Structure 1
Amino acid sequence: MTGQVDTRHFRTLFISDVHLGSKAARTDFLLDFLRYHEADTLFLVGDIVDGWRLKRNWYWPQGCNDVVQKLLRKARKGARIVYIPGNHDEFLRSFPGMHFGGIEVAERAIYEMADGKKYLILHGDEFDVVVRNARLLAYLGDWAYDAAIAINVVLAAVRRRLGMPYWSFSAWAKLQVKHAVNFIGEFQRVVAEEARRNNVDGVICGHIHHAVMEDIEGIHYVNTGDWVESCTAIAENHDGTLEMISWQKIGNTAEIKALPKPQSVEDMQAA
């Protein structure tokens, strides 16, 4: 079935928040996405590897290796790959300018699109007041998110058996809390302000797992989303225009049908 799908080629792809090393990482969806999407340049916008979870409990199944090998293969074939670390893979921030297997590490970047517009590329955790000023609270929040993901696995299994469509409890719960404290709106505002200070036209970031493209007082704010719940990426077309690709929302197309089914609750517990 996947043989019916044409490969799309973009000037640039932006992905973030894969969280390799977490049981919630949708490596199956990401591998399928990378199979059918090529680009001259690929920005990894932070939290690709989840160092926080790996420190607590080592978990590195074959899917994680497959994603790493796929990225390295793209680099060997000539794609430029830039890795901008986030808070979960902050250990890489000690290696700015270094290359690993053809993948270059940078703290942040200013990137010019094909239409001449310039974008600031960063993960965004430095503008999260919780991560910056209350590290313990950030770790507690990360634990709570793990718990929400575990609940999500159970609900997804039940809904699947009842023939109901996928619905993310963890995404819903997160949005309820963050809307209550106006977190997302404030985050977007301060990130857009940072772009304005850098005299660019827009900003592309990750961190909050909330994919969106919108204008904020003259700054084009773009968030890449994640590969835990939304499975989204940002693509730059060859004319410089940007589009958001949501791999789950393709729904009944061959790409999704060809994917292996998500792990059952029993499989997750055994792992």
Structure 2
Amino acid sequence: MNVILHDRIPSHDYQAVFLSDVHLGTRDCRADLLADFLRGLSCRRLYLVGDIIDGWKLKRSWFWNDHHDDVLNLILRMARGGTEVFYIPGNHDEIFRRWLPHRLEVAGIRLCEQAEHVTVTGRRFLVLHGDEFDSVVRYAPFLAVLGDRAYSAALLVNRWFNTVRRRLGLPYRSLSAWLKRQVKGAVMAIDRFETAVVDEARRRGMDGVICGHIHHAVIKDVGGILYMNDGDWVESCSALVEHHDGSMQLLDMTDVRWRVAAPRHPGAVLVPADA
């Protein structure tokens, strides 16, 4: 299976859409871009793959604005309009896990610990947030909290960095994501995470896995298993979509061309339906 770069004009209508790590309730959440995406979106299934609301941050300080309201209202409108919406809690919105493993549906949104997504071509994907495969979160939660605060500091620098870029008329770029890629330990942690979730998908006989958690959007083949991380809405501002032909694609919403009538996504990663 070869992951190819492909220049296509995506439809606003998809078979399925996967979003994670929105972190509503934080200043660094790009709820404005997400709301823009959701307003023009229709899909058969919408998967909210964890950390949609940041309970960790909201416990320490309250931040919420109209864009955050817009995101929730648009998701609820989609659920009322017939879209199947699945909410898989992550570690930052783990409060919702208290209601699991009982099947629960609120306002048309189904709460579940994990999910299995079957594409129109019959490929089976395990869908999970992924924090259960993060050794720091699982075995040293106090380190996870410390890491979260260090990450918040990096995002603060990122916010000022992009303020300067915006005033210079330059597009958004994630400084914090670039810094993370330069740190050898962070790269190794990402590799270990990817290997762990792929092994779980293989153990269950799946064709691939769809997850979030590490804020690193990517589609790649790992030992014959398709690994897809839908990224986040703090740094990459990305969404994973399944087209009606069964192909899977990562979309970059930081591209301002998304917000025109006929958006283009040069270099968006596309996996064909028969890959």
Whether TM exceeds 0.5 here: the answer is yes
5+ residue gaps, structure 1, are 257-271
Structure 1 residue 156 displacement after superposition: 1.3
- Equivalents in 2 of 1:206, 1:119: separation in Å? 14
5+ residue gaps, structure 2, are 1-8, 262-275
Q: How does 1:137-148 map to 2 (within 5 A)?
A: 137-148=143-154
Preserved CA contact (<8 Å) 1:7 1:35: no
Equivalent position to 1:80, from 76, 79, 84:
84
- Equivalents in 1 of 2:73, 2:117: separation in Å? 26
In structure 1, the residue matched to 2:173 is 167
Structure 1 residue 63 displacement after superposition: 1.6
Preserved CA contact (<8 Å) 1:232 1:246: yes
SS of the residue 1:158 aligns to: helix
In structure 2, the residue matched to 1:40 is 44
Preserved CA contact (<8 Å) 2:181 2:187: no
Preserved CA contact (<8 Å) 1:122 1:205: yes
TM-score (norm 2): 0.87
In structure 2, the residue matched to 1:24 is 28
Structure 1 residue 163 displacement after superposition: 3.4
- Equivalents in 2 of 1:168, 1:117: separation in Å? 33
- Equivalents in 1 of 2:259, 2:246: separation in Å? 28
- Equivalents in 2 of 1:53, 1:125: separation in Å? 17
- Aligned-pair identity in percent equals 50
Amino acid paired to 1:145: Y
Structure 1 residue 165 displacement after superposition: 3.6
Equivalent position to 1:129, from 131, 135, 157:
135
SS of the residue 1:145 aligns to: helix
Structure 1 residue 162 displacement after superposition: 3.0
Deviations 1:197-235 (A, max 9, x none): 111100000000000000100100000000111110111
In structure 2, the residue matched to 1:198 is 204
- Equivalents in 2 of 1:181, 1:209: separation in Å? 12
In structure 2, the residue matched to 1:219 is 225
- Equivalents in 2 of 1:75, 1:162: separation in Å? 40
In structure 1, the residue matched to 2:107 is 101
Equivalent position to 1:10, from 1, 4, 14:
14
- Structure richer in helix, relative to its length: 1
Structure 1 residue 241 displacement after superposition: 1.3
SS of the residue 1:182 aligns to: helix
Structure 1 residue 161 displacement after superposition: 2.4
Deviations 1:212-261 (A, max 9, x none): 00010010000000011111011111121111111113x345449xxxxx
Q: Identify the range of structure 1 (217-226 vs 158-167) with the bigger mean alpha-carbon deviation.
A: 158-167
- Equivalents in 1 of 2:252, 2:31: separation in Å? 15
Are residue 62 (structure 1) and residue 66 (structure 2) matched? yes
Preserved CA contact (<8 Å) 2:180 2:187: no
TM-score (norm 1): 0.88
In structure 2, the residue matched to 1:231 is 237
Are residue 149 (structure 1) and residue 141 (structure 2) matched? no
